[in-house]
């Protein structure tokens, strides 16, 4: 079974919000773009037969990263960008629960429209990937202590790539 070329074209894919302006063209070359930002692939993402949103995160040290940025990729397109102060495995566990609950029609932090788009995207393309990197650390001149810029980096990447499954810039 081949991929429907009409459906795979980004301009024909649904979005959770109407972004102003044009997406950066590198949004549609996610692998090379994210590698250039220092991200690495850390998990496969799919919806299982029981409507379970499943993130098969690698068993390596990336599971324990905190203060990191992550990007969901489907069909070599950056479709969602986020960040977390928690350990990546904890954040992805929450993702799995929230999207699964929404897919099953249960109360969830994930809106039904977003769950429907995850279902459509992963049905059309089979699976996706989760990429991640640690946030850039710096020493604050105010606190005289090391801090992470992961949230600022997340916002900048969302503004640049305007991912279709992001609801807001935060």
Query: What does the domain layout of the chain look like in residue ranges?
Result: 26-161
Q: What is the pLDDT of residue 138?
A: 80
Residues constituting the chain: 170
Distance CA 63, CA 10 (A): 30
Q: Tell me how many degrees the CA angle 139-149-137 measures, rounded to the nearest 5.
A: 45
Regarding predicted confidence, which is higher, 2 or 89? 89
The answer to whether 67 and 78 are in contact (CB under 8 A) is: no
The answer to whether 56 and 128 are in contact (CB under 8 A) is: no
CATH code for residues 26-161: 3.40.1440.40
pLDDT tens digits for 134-162? 998 887 788 777 778 898 899 999 999 99
Q: Which of 160, 163, 129 is nearest to 16 (CA)?
A: 163
Predicted model pTM: 0.89
| 49 secondary structure, DSSP code | T
Paired tokens of 53? 């949103």
Q: How confident is the model at residue 1 (pLDDT cuts 50, 70, 90)?
A: very low
Q: How confident is the model at residue 42 (pLDDT cuts 50, 70, 90)?
A: very high
pLDDT at 119 over 80: yes
For residues 95-118, give the mean pLDDT. Answer: 95
Q: What is the pLDDT of residue 170?
A: 52
The answer to whether 78 and 23 are in contact (CB under 8 A) is: no
Angle between helices 88-103 and 112-125 (to 10 degrees): 100
Q: What is the pLDDT of residue 169?
A: 61
Please give the share of the chain, as a percent, with pLDDT higher than 70.
91
For residues 63-92, give the mean pLDDT. Answer: 96
Q: What is the pLDDT of residue 13?
A: 74
């Amino acid at each position: 079974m081949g991929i429907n070329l009409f459906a795979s074209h980004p301009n024909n894919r649904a979005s959770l919000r109407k972004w102003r302006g044009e997406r950066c063209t590198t949004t549609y070359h996610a692998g090379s773009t994210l590698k250039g930002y220092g991200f690495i692939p850390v998990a496969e993402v799919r919806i299982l037969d029981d409507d379970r949103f499943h993130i098969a995160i690698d068993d390596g040290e990336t599971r324990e990263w905190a203060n990191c940025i992550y990007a969901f990729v489907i069909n070599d397109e950056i479709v969602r960008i986020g960040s977390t102060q928690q350990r990546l495995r904890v954040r992805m566990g929450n993702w799995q629960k929230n999207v699964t609950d929404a897919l099953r029609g249960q109360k969830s932090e994930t809106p039904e429209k977003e769950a429907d788009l995850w279902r459509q995207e992963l049905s059309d393309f089979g699976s996706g990937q989760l990429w991640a990197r640690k946030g850039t650390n710096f020493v604050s001149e105010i606190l005289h202590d090391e801090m992470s810029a992961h949230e600022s980096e997340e916002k900048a990447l969302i503004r640049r790539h305007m991912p279709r499954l992001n609801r807001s810039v935060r």
